A and B are shown apart, each in its own frame.
Chain A
């Protein structure tokens, strides 16, 4: 192994993001009011240490071994998700949910994060074992099952944010496996119908569109019937589903649409976050000097809303740098996936991309009201052990995939 085979661009961008995250996390703890963000950056060093070891181990592990291990890891992940429903505890703002696995009162991790990784591995193993990419809805059944299990278990916690990540992974990997976009559209259309059902007119437009596409694309008759039927079912079922959502989930969705509806309650986080970001302007209030953060107006400034600290203190320029680093990371991952030595490692890398992009878009998007508020961490920035270790392993896997590709001489494809 020569140093030339290490993907320096990937490692460099990742290390820059980790450094940026640490710098931001330090600032998040600098407040005039005692908050629980104080000193978390020193603890994050421990997680970075653990994460580097885990990442290095992942980097040193053969993809063949990982492929072999995937089913067992997946089953373990599912079992942990089941276990957490029975013995899980809440934490922080989501104290009412069951997302933490705790033994003897000590929280040792969030199984959902682990499940995201092993689901990527399992789905990659399944898809790479197929002769042809799935062409019909029926072909998608095994994939749907692999994703559907953890998705439903995470929804049961309930953790809508993490559940969405599974959806992101699902579509990213199916796309990369060569599933035709129109099939992906058919799969996702009932979900769109669910959202469109918020208003009668938008739902009608959507149904007309779906029926028209079914006529134009001419899939199997039973596929058309299933898709249109599901669209109707979700559209009609939207109301039922809405009533089944927990009150805090409803509030989050309402305040996503209209944050001012309840400025002291559900809309508070969003308003304070937008205020912090908006007051940053071009260059921000200066590193560690953001008044919104200092005076504790900004909630969860070391976890869910860590990106608002960047916005307030470093301004649009700081935000732009962070987002361009993420974009660079993702474009590199696309390259790594494309040049990967085998379909399994390629799908794993693209699955990791799907995982991260969903996290970044959800987390960063919610700080400026592009997405509803879901408690989901920002890779490399948010304080937290489980997710950072998972991200490190993902990074190690991606580096390994790139290494293998270069070793196999796929440099110039």
Chain B
């Protein structure tokens, strides 16, 4: 055949060699690109392929009271998790797991649901395992593929129920939290604060999540769980120093009448919260490691709503304690002095047009000055004072004194107190001709009407009166809200108001709360409750001459403020005088010399339920009907 002579063959061989070399240069180039130039990219890819990050929960920072005593701390605990490639395999392993540590089928379903939400993460099976449980599970490791046991510090609240509403509780961050970025830095599986201080200072105490890696194969099965690369230890959260006085907090819990709903707040005149208590309470330790569905249902279905923080989330008609606000408005505007008497003495009621507004005391109080009127909580005096101030001014001053809106306390989801700002509110609500300004004025002057306050807001107002007349945002850790509300009163006027409040306790409606060892001031109140027995208020301060603490309390269905007073008095004594109770009168028998407005003797024991006293009249006989 032609074409196979040596010259032509040599030519073709050369061409073939060139072509072959070219092909191999292309191949080698492609490998150089992949292996050398893009090495980092594929290295990362290879690692994300086989390494699954396991978040390491950081220990939360401790929460301490002002003396360093522990409100929340951590105990060693073990979290048992399972790593599963598929739902079926998870079910199978859980089946075997249940033979070692009993888990009921409902919880197994929950675990499967949690797994489905983040299937590349190990799913939490037991968040709060004891050492014994952990050891038992560890023994069965060969039968439980994908088992991960992590030592995870668990939250512990030594004071339990006594601090529940203050400290809140923790829980696993949920999908919505993550979507709305409520917890910056939290990842799926993170433990975050869900309520109370744990919630508002979550970013301080949470710490930084660490990470370690486990190796999985192409089918998602755990191959090695001690991969040393990329391990990042968790960083504990910072300790949280609070203004709380744990002794007082515990004391309030111990004296609180069982079965009574309500709240108590202790605050210094500067706004530092020394105690915050809401009843009924719950055990925040229930939430650690995931609350069981049974406990959660029980807490939610309880008609007493134990999860409700009544100190900041309960709105109540402020009633008689609000008379001090009316007095402050009068003083601020120069319409009255402490010794000013009103034109009409109290004869048991006040005639306004064709309506008769009664005083709580049928027989009447006679002719009183402002001090006496506060001491006796005389409605007729305040009706006339209110009319003298005028409704528009009362609304304006109430807003400037901070009765409209939140106190700004550094606790989560505070309820905003309601107080109308202008007359238009009534026009809008009832129509311009369907309400009467004077009748509304009368209601407002004694804390009735469209006025709903939280305990926190009222205590804040009294703290300002006990201090320098400036309302500041209350705080447990640090002031979060710089807004201040001035009462607009001078030192002398504040002193006058305090004197009238001391008179309440010494000789007035709260005489039952009088303590031998400590003079204190305070104001009772009875808030009308459309659904049952009236709520009782008492807000007081001590010592009388130089107040260091204001304590306010609301007890639902207590019927009268004078019934609440003794508890507040005890709390004040405990704080001012210390645990030595020799000068304190913990039991409050009332003598006949005390005014008939005061409750009768209350039998008290430390453990048994205290009987609620029979109905006593106070300043709340006017129904909060829409004013005409």
A residues near B (Cβ < 8 Å) are 32-33, 127-133, 175-178, 271-272, 274-282, 291-292, 295-297, 311, 315-316, 319-320, 323-324, 326-327, 330-331, 334-335, 337-338, 343, 346, 350, 353, 357, 361, 364-365, 368-370, 413
Q: Are A32 and B24 neighbours in the complex by a CB distance under 8 Å?
A: no
Q: How far is the CB of B27 from chain A (nearest CB, A)?
A: 6
Q: Are A133 and B20 neighbours in the complex by a CB distance under 8 Å?
A: no
CB < 8 Å neighbour of A334 from B1, B17, B28: B17
Within 8 A of A (CB), among B36-64: 36, 38-39, 41-43, 45-46, 49-50
Offer 12 A-B interface pairs, CB within 8 angstroms, sorted by A.
Answer: A33-B219, A131-B1, A133-B3, A178-B4, A278-B46, A292-B49, A292-B50, A297-B218, A326-B24, A335-B13, A368-B30, A413-B6
Q: How far is the CB of B39 from chain A (nearest CB, A)?
A: 5
Output the nearest chain A residue to B10 by Cβ-Cβ distance. Answer: A338
Not counting A278-B39, A279-B39, A370-B26, a sample of 10 additional A-B residue pairs whose C-beta atoms are within 8 angstroms of each other reads A132-B1, A133-B3, A175-B15, A178-B2, A292-B50, A295-B49, A295-B223, A327-B20, A330-B20, A368-B33
* Alpha-carbon distance A132/B35, docked complex (angstroms): 47
Output the nearest chain A residue to B12 by Cβ-Cβ distance. Answer: A176
Output the nearest chain A residue to B43 by Cβ-Cβ distance. Answer: A279
Output the nearest chain B residue to A342 by Cβ-Cβ distance. Answer: B4
* Alpha-carbon distance A319/B30, docked complex (angstroms): 11
Q: How far is the CB of B267 from chain A (nearest CB, A)?
A: 60
Q: Is B344 on the interface with A (CB-CB < 8 A)?
A: no
Output the nearest chain B residue to A326 by Cβ-Cβ distance. Answer: B24
* Alpha-carbon distance A346/B4, docked complex (angstroms): 9
Residues of A contacting B4 in the complex (Cβ-Cβ under 8 angstroms): 178, 343, 346
Given contacts A175-B12, A330-B20, A357-B23, contact A311 B35 (CB under 8 A): yes
Given contacts A32-B217, A296-B217, contact A279 B13 (CB under 8 A): no
Q: How far is the CB of A335 from chain B (nearest CB, A)?
A: 7
* Alpha-carbon distance A297/B36, docked complex (angstroms): 21
Residues of A contacting B218 in the complex (Cβ-Cβ under 8 angstroms): 33, 295-297
Q: Is B546 on the interface with A (CB-CB < 8 A)?
A: no
Q: How far is the CB of B218 from chain A (nearest CB, A)?
A: 4
Q: Are B216 and A295 neighbours in the complex by a CB distance under 8 Å?
A: yes
CB < 8 Å neighbour of B35 from A315, A338, A353: A315
Q: Are A320 and B2 neighbours in the complex by a CB distance under 8 Å?
A: no
Q: How far is the CB of A260 from chain B (nearest CB, A)?
A: 11
Output the nearest chain A residue to B23 by Cβ-Cβ distance. Answer: A361
Output the nearest chain B residue to A330 by Cβ-Cβ distance. Answer: B20
Q: Are B12 and A275 neighbours in the complex by a CB distance under 8 Å?
A: no
CB < 8 Å neighbour of A175 from B16, B21, B221: B16
Residues of B contacting A316 in the complex (Cβ-Cβ under 8 angstroms): 31-32, 35-36
Residues of A contacting B215 in the complex (Cβ-Cβ under 8 angstroms): 291, 295
Residues of A contacting B34 in the complex (Cβ-Cβ under 8 angstroms): 274, 277-278, 311, 368
Q: Are A178 and B8 neighbours in the complex by a CB distance under 8 Å?
A: yes
Q: Are B50 and A368 neighbours in the complex by a CB distance under 8 Å?
A: no
Given contacts A33-B219, A295-B217, contact A130 B20 (CB under 8 A): no
B residues near A (Cβ < 8 Å) are 1-4, 6, 8-10, 12-13, 15-17, 20-21, 23-24, 26-28, 30-36, 38-39, 41-43, 45-46, 49-50, 215-219, 221, 223
> Which 6 A/B pairs are nearest by Cβ-Cβ distance?
A278-B42, A178-B3, A279-B46, A295-B217, A296-B218, A316-B35
Q: How far is the CB of A361 from chain B (nearest CB, A)?
A: 6
**Listed residue (A33, A175, A334, A370) with the most chain B CB atoms within 10 angstroms of its CB:** A334
* Alpha-carbon distance A128/B3, docked complex (angstroms): 10
Q: How far is the CB of B44 from chain A (nearest CB, A)?
A: 9
Residues of B contacting A361 in the complex (Cβ-Cβ under 8 angstroms): 23, 27
Q: How far is the CB of A288 from chain B (nearest CB, A)?
A: 16
Q: Are A130 and B1 neighbours in the complex by a CB distance under 8 Å?
A: yes
Q: Are A131 and B45 neighbours in the complex by a CB distance under 8 Å?
A: no
Residues of A contacting B28 in the complex (Cβ-Cβ under 8 angstroms): 319-320, 323
Q: Are A275 and B9 neighbours in the complex by a CB distance under 8 Å?
A: no
Q: Are B23 and A368 neighbours in the complex by a CB distance under 8 Å?
A: no
Output the nearest chain B residue to A282 by Cβ-Cβ distance. Answer: B36
Residues of B contacting A272 in the complex (Cβ-Cβ under 8 angstroms): 49
Q: How far is the CB of B16 from chain A (nearest CB, A)?
A: 5
**Listed residue (A33, A274, A295, A320) with the most chain B CB atoms within 10 angstroms of its CB:** A295
Output the nearest chain B residue to A295 by Cβ-Cβ distance. Answer: B217
Residues of A contacting B36 in the complex (Cβ-Cβ under 8 angstroms): 281-282, 316
Q: How far is the CB of B17 from chain A (nearest CB, A)?
A: 6
Q: How far is the CB of A198 from chain B (nearest CB, A)?
A: 21
Output the nearest chain A residue to B20 by Cβ-Cβ distance. Answer: A330
Output the nearest chain A residue to B30 by Cβ-Cβ distance. Answer: A368
Q: How far is the CB of B161 from chain A (nearest CB, A)?
A: 51
* Alpha-carbon distance A369/B23, docked complex (angstroms): 15
* Alpha-carbon distance A111/B507, docked complex (angstroms): 115
* Alpha-carbon distance A330/B24, docked complex (angstroms): 11
* Alpha-carbon distance A346/B41, docked complex (angstroms): 46
CB < 8 Å neighbour of A277 from B42, B49, B217: B42
Residues of A contacting B33 in the complex (Cβ-Cβ under 8 angstroms): 368
Residues of A contacting B3 in the complex (Cβ-Cβ under 8 angstroms): 132-133, 177-178
Given contacts A130-B1, A131-B1, contact A278 B27 (CB under 8 A): no
Q: Are B35 and A319 neighbours in the complex by a CB distance under 8 Å?
A: yes
Q: How far is the CB of B7 from chain A (nearest CB, A)?
A: 10
Q: Are A128 and B6 neighbours in the complex by a CB distance under 8 Å?
A: no
* Alpha-carbon distance A327/B27, docked complex (angstroms): 11
Q: Are B45 and A279 neighbours in the complex by a CB distance under 8 Å?
A: yes
Residues of A contacting B13 in the complex (Cβ-Cβ under 8 angstroms): 334-335, 337-338
Q: Are A323 and B45 neighbours in the complex by a CB distance under 8 Å?
A: no
* Alpha-carbon distance A178/B1, docked complex (angstroms): 10
Output the nearest chain A residue to B41 by Cβ-Cβ distance. Answer: A278
* Alpha-carbon distance A305/B30, docked complex (angstroms): 16
Q: Are A338 and B9 neighbours in the complex by a CB distance under 8 Å?
A: yes
Q: Are B46 and A334 neighbours in the complex by a CB distance under 8 Å?
A: no
